[in-house]
Structure 1
């Protein structure tokens, strides 16, 4: 029963991630006519989402994304 609850919770996090990718990174806005174009769009959308997540994490920590590391 505990495993079932864990799996259900995991699915919710994954669905939330895809919804965020659709809203913020344009994951669902494509008109690809070939596999290569679709793959490029999905790759760039997921890269944009990763950058947004990293920037958000830095902002929460109080660091500037453009501050040089010393």
Structure 2
């Protein structure tokens, strides 16, 4: 099984990821944090060989890892709420 995906599949997955992100974006107080969270998710799901602050930031088009590191280490967000939102999304779409 090859690793190639069609453009329509990639677009559908991207739209699905954006839909998931909309479910919990309100758990982040600032718009910058919401954008960083989506960029981080896209980076984790990307075909990068190594996934760390630098590579995910580069994949997102950031000049350095500062925004991603801030998201992971300093930003206040409702982790339990995000978990609940993601669980609800999974149940709706996979159950």
**Would the TM-score normalized by the shorter structure come out above 0.5?**
no
Greater length-normalized contact order (CA 8 Å, ≥ 6 residues apart): 2
Indicate the structure (1 or 2) with the bigger Cα radius of gyration.
Answer: 1
| Band the TM-score falls in, shorter-chain normalisation | 0.3 to 0.5
TM-score (structure 2 length as normaliser): 0.36
TM-score (structure 1 length as normaliser): 0.45
